[in-house]
Amino acid sequence: MGYADLFRLDGRRVAVVGGASGIGRESVRALAAHGAEVLIADKDVPGAEETARLAAAERPAPGAGPGPGPVSVHRLDVLDDVAVREAAAQWGAVDGLVVTVGANVRKRIADYTPHDFERVMALNLRAYLTLVQSMAPGMAARGRGSVVGLASMRAFQVEAGQSVYAASKAGLVQFLRTAAEEWGPSGVRFNAVAPGVVRTPLTDQIAADPQWYEAYAQASALRRWAGAEEIAGAVTYLVSDASTYVTGSVLTVDGGWTAVDGRYEPSL
Ligand SMILES: NC(=O)c1ccc[n+]([C@@H]2O[C@H](COP(=O)([O-])OP(=O)(O)OC[C@H]3O[C@@H](n4cnc5c(N)ncnc54)[C@H](O)[C@@H]3O)[C@@H](O)[C@H]2O)c1
């Protein structure tokens, strides 16, 4: 393979779980544009169908290679373990698994309910157990595969109201690192992407409050929010052969948020 094809995914099958919206949707579009066959799994079927439509409409620049890979839509609730196992069996061999489901309940610890706790943990962390159990062995049997999970800068830096979300994302990082060790000898890679603040439905609550929105924009080195399409490159990289020696890692895509302290700008 020449370097010009380093990120190409022709002939690869990639499942994107959570592909009906936000980062998942843009990841589907990017993966398909690089030639992958993409299976979109989501509980939101109309959203997944819209993603499939957008992916199919992706057209390469004249002379820049083939059009997008085929995209299919699969209804799936990741909290239904039986359905996840059945879906994985039905899909058969996949080369990549990208998981972008996630939820946040922003409340102080004093106000958190057990139900809130379980909801966030179930989607952000426990769902990975059955997904990985169902799909990693098949990848291991073929000696190759890449699993990409969506963590967050909240795995490392917190603020009031982020307790359970931050714990779930820190837990996810350690879960994926352990998976990297357990399946590494079989050639299966596991990595996390840790975005900063990205304008998707998940952040509607923040965008509705101009002060909160602007404070978050100013917290990163780039002084702005990300678009979901700015996360898709990291996902594509980690699925592709450009990252064959990358496993157990966390790729921050946060506009520099976790690099800077942000409390004070000296007048130098
Ligand atoms: N948006 C951000 O600022 C941001 C920042 C850091 C990390 N993240 C993480 O990135 C991931 C994607 O976030 P997003 O902003 O694109 O979210 P989003 O809400 O736009 O998309 C989440 C998708 O998951 C699907 N989903 C939810 N529950 C499901 C279930 N039970 N079964 C199947 N599908 C289900 C939804 O239908 C939706 O399509 C999440 O894990 C999130 O925590 C997001």
Q: State whether the beta carbon of 197 lies less than 6 angstroms from ligand 1.
A: yes
**3-state DSSP helix/strand/coil % of the chain, to nearest 5:** 50, 15, 35
Q: Probe ligand 1: pick from 16, 17, 23, 105, max atoms within 8 Å of CB?
A: 23
Strand intervals (E) in the chain: 13-17, 37-42, 71-75, 96-99, 145-150, 188-195, 198-199, 226-227, 250-253
Contact between 14 and 74 under an 8 Å Cβ cutoff? The reply is: no
pLDDT at 258: 97
The SS3 assignment for 109 reads helix
Q: State whether the beta carbon of 43 lies less than 6 angstroms from ligand 1.
A: yes
Tokens standing for 172? 């996810």
Contact between 58 and 201 under an 8 Å Cβ cutoff? The reply is: no
pLDDT tens for the chain, 268 residues: list them: 789 999 999 999 999 999 999 999 999 999 999 999 999 999 999 999 999 999 999 877 776 678 899 999 999 999 999 999 999 999 999 999 999 999 999 999 999 999 999 999 999 999 999 999 999 999 999 999 999 999 999 999 999 999 999 999 999 999 999 999 999 999 999 999 999 999 999 999 999 999 999 999 999 999 999 999 999 999 999 999 999 999 999 999 999 999 998 778 889 9
pLDDT at 61: 72
Unique residue bearing structure tokens 């690869």: 12
Tokens standing for 52? 């499939």
Nearest alpha-carbon partner for 189 in 112, 118, 96, 259: 96
Using the mean position of ligand 1's atoms as its centre, give its distance from the Cα of residue 92 in Å.
Answer: 24
- Minimum-distance ligand 1 atom for the alpha carbon of 24: 16
- Minimum-distance ligand 1 atom for the alpha carbon of 80: 31
pLDDT at 67: 85
Q: State whether the beta carbon of 230 lies less than 6 angstroms from ligand 1.
A: no
pLDDT at 60: 76
Q: For residue 129, give the H/E element and its range.
A: helix 127-142
- Give the catalytic positions in this structure: 165
pLDDT at 221: 96
DSSP 38-94: EEEEES-HHHHHHHHHHHHT--PPTTS---PPPEEEEE--TT-HHHHHHHHHHH---
DSSP designation for 11: T
Q: At how many degrees (to 10) do helices 22-33 and 45-56 cross? A: 30
Using the mean position of ligand 1's atoms as its centre, give its distance from the Cα of residue 246 in Å.
Answer: 24
Q: State whether the beta carbon of 255 lies less than 6 angstroms from ligand 1.
A: no
Contact between 119 and 130 under an 8 Å Cβ cutoff? The reply is: no
pLDDT at 245: 98
Query: Ligand 1 atom 37: the closest Cα is on which residue?
Result: 44
Q: State whether the beta carbon of 144 lies less than 6 angstroms from ligand 1.
A: no
Q: At how many degrees (to 10) do helices 127-142 and 163-183 cross? A: 20
Q: State whether the beta carbon of 44 lies less than 6 angstroms from ligand 1.
A: yes
Which region, left, alpha or beta, applies to residue 247 given φ > 0 means left and ψ of -120 to 50 means alpha?
Answer: beta
pLDDT at 64: 67
